[in-house]
A and B are shown apart, each in its own frame.
Chain A
Amino acid sequence: MTHSALSRVRPARFSRGAGSIGRFLIALLRSPQSAAGTVIVLFFLALALFGAQIAPYRANDQSNPPRHPPTAAPLERLRRVWDDPGRLFETETYRPGPYPFGTDTLGRDVFSRVILGTSSIFRVAGFGTLIAVVIGTFLGLFAGYQGGLVDEIITRVFDALLAMPALLLALVILGIIRNVETEPGSFQAALADNAVLLVIALVYVPIVARVVRSSTLEVKTRAFVQAAQIRGESWGYILFREIFPSVIPALVVEASLRFSYAIFLVASLGFLGVAARPPSPDWGLMVNENRGGYYQLAPWALEYPAAAIALLVIGVNLMSDGIRRAVQRSE
């Protein structure tokens, strides 16, 4: 029939090997939206890695006087050119001043703080998602393949966790952890320092596990899994060698989606004041510190970190949308 005839002219399916990763990237960059999303994410990733070298000031350097307005805002430049069109050709117009995004009410450079905040959001959201994916994959594979009582218990526990809104669950857990006294340098202290990261992992484990489990249920009925059982393979071999590769496409899509939600969750927790503590340059915290009365005095100190959060979340979303389509295309 038509389908089998067509499939032979299409490139071979997405399987392992360098060639397939190249094809995946081409498929990812195919649509302008996902290409834009990928560029945005890579841009922020570069800021996260090299932020300390790029930022002109340290996080808590203070200007005098504070609340210096932005010196390189596009609107500001437009206004100058509007007033005197002749300045359009002056390089001076395009050279940023000392505080491109202005300074906040304590005189700290917003530009530097936004750049320096990137690494923490990537670290917390990224590693939190990674841990959730690893644990969720393991539990999902295990519950799906084993079935029976084990599956019943694991899925019911996850259902209970999923019944609570992620933000609320995170708030409760952080509230408890924050009140525990720890000795500096101890294991508990290390845990407490990374509390947000662990909370992200905990909140997203059930979601990842559920996706992996449903893929596993579908794959385990296929004949190649039964062929492995007939050879007397151990369950570890069947789970990771036979079933896991078929789960990867669904997992990649879910992981990218989780990452975008994790960024949002970290920012929300920062805003609510339960994640990073002042004076650390956390985006959510910056929004919180500069709202209220200060917003009238220095709106830029709130607007730039808020814009950064929005841009990164949109970027990750567009990219994960592209990943989903690229995976479907190669399926």
Chain B
Amino acid sequence: MQWLERHVPKLVLAPSFIAALLFVYGFIAWTAWVSFTRSRLLPNYDLVGTIQYERLFASPRWEVALNNLFVFGVLFIGISMLLGLLLAIFLDQKIRTEGVLRTIYLYPMALSLIVTGTAWKWMLNPGLGLEAMVRGWGFEDFRFDWITDPDMAIYTVVIAGVWQASGFVMALFLAGLRSVDGEIIKAAQVDGIPTHRIYTAIIIPSMAPIFLSAFIVLSHLAIKSFDLVIALTGGGPGYATDLPATYMYAMAFSRGDIGQAASSAMVMMMIVFAIVVPYLYSELRAKHD
């Protein structure tokens, strides 16, 4: 009884810890192992070296997926941050309707990416959507058929992604702006420093940690983006808007190529780690100092 009393906290934590060991670390190990085998439709556990990774990086479809991740990632993160910051600064000017506007800017974040994708797919439909609308206004030559154009389709994913996430970045930045020391700003105003200089020289530099966490969240979202592409373009036209996440899924569940699915998943994980681990490391170090 005494023993039980003393060990209750450990016993409470144990199931979750074991679950994490098994279903996170064990599963990563499994996927890592399989990525070094010849597994196709069924897993095979004989290690054969890096053959799957060689196949992966020789695959034109994977090349497209990685390129798309780069294009999508840079634009999605860049535009969302810029727009989020801009909206936050605008809303920070003692706007009377701030509450309503904030609610409007942020609601997409409550939607499933499948809903977002469905809505934008309809609006971007060249025959009946925005293109047809503008043509109806008399601009007969107006063209906005990116979603059916293999070279442009990835940018439609950017549009929908920014629509979904920028309001959230706005909320992060707005909270950051509000936490800047009011005294410093007042002192600067008294000194006659113009507002835009106060922002560029005082407020924005002091928000560096928020930029970092916004960047981390957005890059995490970008790498994981799967739902949005599936709902918006289905990876098409052809495989023009494939991302690593959709490539992995196609290999795992429709192509029956477990080796490729495992190796592409491992590459995704490395990309996430390359971004997240330095961040976590610096966070933990900052706490110890």
Q: Do A and B bind each other?
A: no
A interface residues, Cβ below 8 angstroms from B: none
